[in-house]
A and B are shown apart, each in its own frame.
Chain A
Amino acid sequence: MVADSLLRVPQTALSRVTLGIRAKDTIADGVVSLTLAHPDGGRLPDWTPGSHIDLVLPEGTTRQYSLCGDRWDPYTYRIAVLREPAGRGGSAYVHDRLAPGDLVGVGGPRNHFPLVPADRYLFIAGGIGITPLLPMIHQAELMGADWQLLYGGRSRASMAFREELSAAHGDRVHISPQDECGLLDLAPWLGTPDPGTKVYCCGPAPLLAAVEQTCAAWPPYSLRTERFTAAALPEPVHQTAFEVELRRTGRTVTVMPDTSVLHAVRQVGADVLSSCEQGTCGTCLTPVLEGTPDHRDSILADHERAANDCMLPCVSRSRGDRLVLDL
C-alpha cells in the first residue's frame, strides 16, 4: 500500500470547524451512522478512543456524539446517532433532514472518557452507548489486553455494530437484548472486585446507576462512565457574523462565518501566536473580557470553558453578537 498524505497541506486562514457529510447509513433500527470529512479533504484533528465531537446542526443547536471510527484514518470521523423520539430534535434533524453533501459545524474532539492502561477491561454498553466503546475495544486488542464486552439493548435489531463485534471477537462479546434476556444481569460480572480490571460503561442513566451500585466495593478509579445524554444544553450558537473588540488596541473586527477569530484579529494587527490551528496545542489561548465564547477546542476542561474567561481563537467562536478580548 502506498500512502500519499503528503500532498495535503494544512489550510490555515479559514475556519477549520466546518465538515461535510460524506456518507449517511442506517446501521440498526433507529440508528444512522454519519461519516464526516473536511471539504478540502485535509487531515482532521487527531483523537483518542472515548472522544466525542460537538455537532453543530444547521439551525444552530449543538449535540455531542462519540467518535466510533478508526483513528488510523485521519481524513474521516464516524459517529452513530440514535433517533430519540423524546429528545430535543437534534437526532430527528440528523435522521430526517441531514443528507450527504451537507455541511455541519464541528467542535473538538474532546475526551472525558479516556482509556487508561490496564491488564483487563470489562466494557458495558447500553444501546447506543456502544459507540465510544467501539474504538476502545480496537485499542484493547492492539495493546494485547484481556477484555470482555457486555452489550445490552432493546432488541437485536436495535443494537448497532452487534454483528461485526460478534464476528470479529467471538466469545469476548456477550450480547443481551432486553426482549430476550431482560435487563443486563450485572452481578455475575461485577460481583467480585478485580483490581487488575478497569470497567468502562456507557449507556442510559439507569444502567450507569446500576453499574455504579454494583461496583461500590471495587477499588477507587476502577469504574469509568460516560453519560451520553447531556444534562443541560447551551443556547444555540451564533451562525452568522459577530463582532470582536480588541480592548487593548481599541479595534473592532467583524468575524465572518467562514473565517476564524484568530485570522480576523490578525487582520487588524493583533499579535496572537498560534501553532496547530486545530484547537489542540493551546498556544493561542487568549483572555476573554466580555461575551461568551462558543468553545470548539480539544483541550480546555469543562470548568475552564464554563469560566468563559479564555478561549482558543483558532477554532472557537462566539455565542453572542460580540466578544471582547484582551488583545
Chain B
Amino acid sequence: MTPAPAPAVSLPTSDADPFAAEHLAQPEPLHQQLRQAGPVVHLSRYNVYALARYREVHAALVDWQTFQSAAGVGLADFRKEKPWRPPSLLLEADPPHHDAPRRVLREILAPPALRRLRATWQTVAEELVDTVLADRGREFDAFTDLAGAFPLRVFPDAVGLGPEGRENLLPYGNMAFNAFGPANDLVKADADRAAGLAAWVNAQCAREALSEDGFGSRIWAAADRGDLTHTQAPLVVRSLLTAGVDTTVHGLAAALYAFATHPDQWQRLRERPESARVAFDEAVRWQSPVQTFFRTATTDVTIAGARIPEGAKILMFLGAANRDPVRWPDADRFDLTRDPSGHVGFGMGIHQCVGQHVARLEAEALLTALARRVAHIELTGEPRRHLNNTLRSWAALPVTVRPAR
C-alpha cells in the first residue's frame, strides 16, 4: 500500500514572516510566491513547512492520520510548550479523544437542528437592516453596523448566554486566534487582559450560566446522557464561544466588502436572492476569514517528493489554497457564477468547521435582508483592516447605499 519513498527533492526555502504586519494586511503577494515556489516551502524563520497549493492543503486537511492536531494547530508545539489555555477538545484533539465532543456538537449544529432558528434570524436581520438605514441613513460602517452587529444579536442568544459581558466575546476570539501565531506584538497587546477575558468566557460555560433551550444547555444535556463527561461539557461550550463569533463577524465582513467592491455581483444577488448561501461561500473562498492553521507530522512523510520529518509543524495556507489558479480559474475574482464548492475556508475532513451551517444561516439571513432593501452598495472610503495572526479581520468598511424603491 505504501509506495517506496520518493527521492528527496531540494526544498524551496523562504525567510518571509507570514505573521508580519505587511503580510497579514495583504497576504496575496506572499501566497503567490509560496504557491509558485513549490508544493512545500520551508519557512526558515520558524522552521515550519508551508503548504500553499490547493491540492496539498486539501490532502493535509483530510489526512488526520498523518497530520495531527493534538500538538496544537498553531505554531506552538504542545508536546514541548504549555498551551496558553487547556486545549480545545475539538480543534486541538485527535481521534479517539476527538470523537465524542465532535459528535455531540455536530448533531447540535446540524442543518436540520438549525431549522427552528431560521425564521427568527431572518426577522432579526430585517430589523437590524431597517434600523441601520433609519438611524444612519445612506452612509454607515458596514463592518460595525452590520457584520459586527448581526452575529452578536443572534449567536449568543442561540448559545444561551446571559445579557451581561457579551462585549468580551470578540476580544476573546481575537486573542484566541492571535495565539495560533508566534508571540509577536499582536499577542503581546492582549497579554494584560488575557486572564480576565478567559475567566469571563470560562464562567459562561457553566451550566448555571446558560439558558435552557440553547446550544450550551444541549451540550450539558448530552453530558447528562453520558455522551460526554461533565468535565468535557464546559470545554465544548467554550469551543462555541471561541470559534463562533469572530469568524462569522469577519466572514460577513468579507461578503459585504466583496459586494461593496463588485456592484455587478450585488445586482446578481438582488436578482437571485436564493443564491445568498453560494455567494457567502464564494466570499469565504475569496477572502478566507480563517487564513491559516497548522498541523504536526505524526511520521516522516513525503509530500510531492519533499521529505518532512516526524514532529515537524506544517503551516497550511487556506487563503492561498482558495486562490490557487490550478484549482480556481480566475482565482482572484469574486464571481457569483463560480461554484465555490470544495473551498477550504472552513477546512476539510474531521476538523472541518462544525459551525459552518450556523455561519451560512447567519449570512443568508443578513444578505437576503440587505438585498431586499438596498439597490446599490459601494465603498466611500478606504476600508480598514484589523490585524490578527490567523483571521483576515476588519476594523471599518465605510459604505454608501442606495435604498431599493
Contact = CB atoms under 8 A, between A and B. Distances in A.
Does A associate with B in a complex? yes
Interface of A: 1-10, 12, 43, 46, 48-49, 71-75, 111, 114-118, 139, 142-143, 198, 221-222, 266, 271-277, 281-285, 299-301, 304, 310
Nearest to A222: B226
Given A1-B299, A198-B226, A283-B356, A275 B97 contact: no
B95 A71 contact: yes
Interface of B: 1-3, 5-6, 55-56, 58-60, 62-66, 95-97, 99-100, 103, 106-107, 110-112, 225-229, 232, 274-275, 277-278, 281, 299-304, 339-343, 346, 348-350, 352, 356-357, 360
Contact of A221 (B60, B100, B226, B360): B226
A303 B62 CA distance: 29
A142 B227 CA distance: 18
A282 B341 contact: no
Given A143-B97, A271-B278, A273-B277, A6 B300 contact: no
In this complex, which of A2, A9, A143, A299 has the most chain B Cβ atoms within 10 angstroms of its Cβ? A2
Contacts of B100: 114-117
Contact of B55 (A9, A12, A139, A221): A9
A301 B106 CA distance: 12
A298 to B, nearest CB: 10
Contact of A139 (B96, B228, B232): B96
Nearest to A327: B274
A285 B111 contact: yes
Given A4-B302, A75-B1, A115-B99, A282 B65 contact: no
22 contacts: A2-B300, A2-B302, A3-B65, A5-B59, A7-B3, A12-B342, A46-B64, A46-B349, A48-B96, A73-B1, A74-B63, A115-B99, A116-B226, A117-B228, A142-B96, A271-B278, A274-B341, A276-B348, A276-B352, A281-B352, A282-B110, A283-B341
A271 B299 CA distance: 40
Given A3-B299, A300-B112, A114 B1 contact: no
B56 to A, nearest CB: 6
Given A48-B99, A274-B341, A282-B357, A4 B65 contact: no
Contacts of B96: 48-49, 115, 139, 142-143
Contact of A10 (B2, B58, B99, B106): B58
B320 to A, nearest CB: 16
Nearest to A248: B274
Contacts of A276: 348-349, 352
Contacts of B304: 6-7
Given A115-B96, A198-B226, A271-B274, 15 more contacts: A1-B2, A3-B301, A5-B59, A9-B59, A46-B350, A48-B95, A49-B96, A74-B63, A117-B232, A221-B225, A271-B275, A271-B278, A273-B281, A275-B346, A285-B112
A81 B339 CA distance: 42
Nearest to B5: A2
Closest 7 CB pairs of A and B: A221-B226, A274-B341, A6-B59, A2-B5, A3-B66, A139-B96, A285-B111
Given A275-B346, A281-B356, A282-B111, A114 B275 contact: no
Nearest to B281: A273
B296 to A, nearest CB: 13
A273 B63 contact: no
A4 B2 contact: yes
Contacts of A282: 110-111, 357
B289 to A, nearest CB: 16
Contacts of A8: 59
A285 B114 CA distance: 12
Contacts of A5: 59, 63, 65-66
A159 B1 CA distance: 29
Contacts of B274: 271
B21 to A, nearest CB: 32
